[in-house]
Each structure stands twice: as structure tokens, then as C-alpha cells.
Amino acid sequence: MSAIGGTVYDLTGPEGAPAVVLIHGLGLNRACWQWLVPELAARYRVLTYDLLGHGQSAAPPSKPTLRTLSDQLSVLLDQLGMARAAIVGFSLGGMIARRFAQDHPARVAALGILHSPHRRTPEAQAAIVARVEQAKAEGPGATVEAALVRWFTDPCRAANPQMMDLVRSWVLANDPAIYPSIYRILAEGVDEIVAPEPPIAVPALVITGDEDHGNGPEMARAIADEIAGAEVLILPGLRHMALAEDPPSINRPLAAFLDRHLGAGA
């Protein structure tokens, strides 16, 4: 563990190898990548870090935006001397990855966009805004149990109480005074990254589960439609946190994609 400018991060894998950055989702922290890092760190320089207001990183400004979180990554890469990297983002992290690709196209070697939103229906938008207001009024604990239902299939939750406790603990560790401001970015920041102009023009892999109803197949396809040549993978029988419930379903295709476009596996 190290820190730069209030951002706490881990850097693993061989020095000089192609860089891969992993960006976690709302309410989580860099530990959510524990199922993927070993797969990648044998051949890539893998950077994981805590978003502002999450984990061990510093609090964000009082009114953070998606650009705030893109800038956090830019500063971190500058300080680490990483001119270019593949950027992989989960959920909110996938939004940050797209924002970063718009802000710094020359610095992105490839994009992995996992379970991340596109523009929502009015009903879905109203539902997520209501969750933001609930979190603001009652704290992260008010939304975490419903989140676990959205994130994991019923059999997984029943069979893996320790995993549920772990993920629950990550969410509950968030500062109630900060969490709603980041949640609002997830709810309202999508418009910044829909139909980017100029379009994103890097290799991209977009993955979601067919039971991830908040970030479903239609959203994955809409994201991919805006990135020339983007690949789409829909995981059958999985919800939002496939990366924890069924790690190989994410690890294998993502590693193969990175090997094709970064060359480490060639």
C-alpha cells in the first residue's frame, strides 16, 4: 500500500510490463479486485486504488463530479510515471474509465467496461435518485441489503454468507456525509459520457450479466455502439458483481482481451 496526494493505491506485477488500471465501483474499495489481480499481475503492471471518499483515500471536494474522479486518476498516473495504460472500470468505475478516455484519449491503450450504466429509462432514473436520497437521509446502511440482492444471485447469497459480510462491510465503512455525493455521480453523471464527441476510439470490451437489471445487456450494447469495434459479452445467470460471484467469467475474457491488445500474452 502506498499513497500519493490523498489517493491510496497498490501496484503489483513486473516493472516495465504494460500497465492495467482497475477502478472499483460505488461504495467499494480496491480490495474488490482481489479475485482478478492474481490473474493479471503475472504479466501486467496492475494498479488498483481507492476512489476519493472510499477505502483509505482522502475525501473528495464538497461537490465532486465525474470529472473530479477522472482527474484523480490522471494525477495518480502522472505521479507514477505511467504515460499510458489499459483502464478497466466496474460500475461507477466504468463511467470514470469512459470519462478518462474522453479527457485523455492518448493515455488509454484499451478499455474494459464492466457492469456500467448507459442512459436509463425514466423509471430506472427515478429509482436510483430515490436511493441517493435514502442514502443521504439514512446512510449507506439503508441501501446495502437491497444492493446485495441486486448484486448477487439468490443461490450465491445463500451459499456465501462470508462474502456477503465482506461486501456489506465495505459499503458500511463509507462516511455517511460523503457517500451520497458520490452516489449522485453514479445517478447523474451518465449524461457526460453518452454519445461522446469525438467518439472514443480505443479497443474496448463491455461486459455485463443478463440478470444485472440496473446495468443490463441493452446498456452494454448501447455503450459498445458508441465505441467503434467494441466487443460485448453478456454473462448468463449473473448479476452485478459477477467479478466476485464467478471470477473466471470476468477474468478469462478480460485477460484474453488485454493479451490481444497489450501484447503481454502474445
Going from N- to C-terminal start, the domains of the chain cover 2-119+190-262
What is the dihedral sign for C-alpha 75, 101, 264, 51?
positive
Most distant pair of Cα atoms in the chain: their distance:
51
State percent of the chain over pLDDT 90: 95
Phi first, then psi: give them for residue 19, nearest 5 degrees: -90, 140
Q: Which CATH number fits domain 2-119+190-262: 3.40.50.620, 3.40.50.1820, 3.40.50.300, 3.40.50.720?
A: 3.40.50.1820
pLDDT in tens, 67-126: 999 999 999 999 999 999 999 999 999 999 999 999 999 999 999 999 999 999 999 999
Q: Write down the pTM of the prediction.
A: 0.96
Quick one: 93 exposed, middle or buried, by C-beta within 10 A (0-12, 13-18, 19+)? buried
How far CA 138 is from CA of 2, 49, 61, 144, in Å, comes to 33, 27, 21, 11
Q: Taking 60 as the threshold, does the pLDDT of residue 128 lie above it?
A: yes
pLDDT average, residue stretch 183-194: 94
Q: Taking 80 as the threshold, does the pLDDT of residue 227 lie above it?
A: yes
Give the closest residue to 210 by CA, choosing from 239, 232, 231: 239
Q: Check: CB of residue 243 under 8 Å from CB of residue 156.
A: no
Q: Check: CB of residue 111 under 8 Å from CB of residue 204.
A: yes
Strand, helix or coil for residue 222: helix
What is the SS3 assignment for 172-204?
A: HCCCCCCHHHHHHHHHHHHHHCCCCCCCCCCCE
Give the closest residue to 57 by CA, choosing from 1, 8, 2, 24: 8
Please report where in the chains the cell 495504460 appears, as a residue. Answer: 85
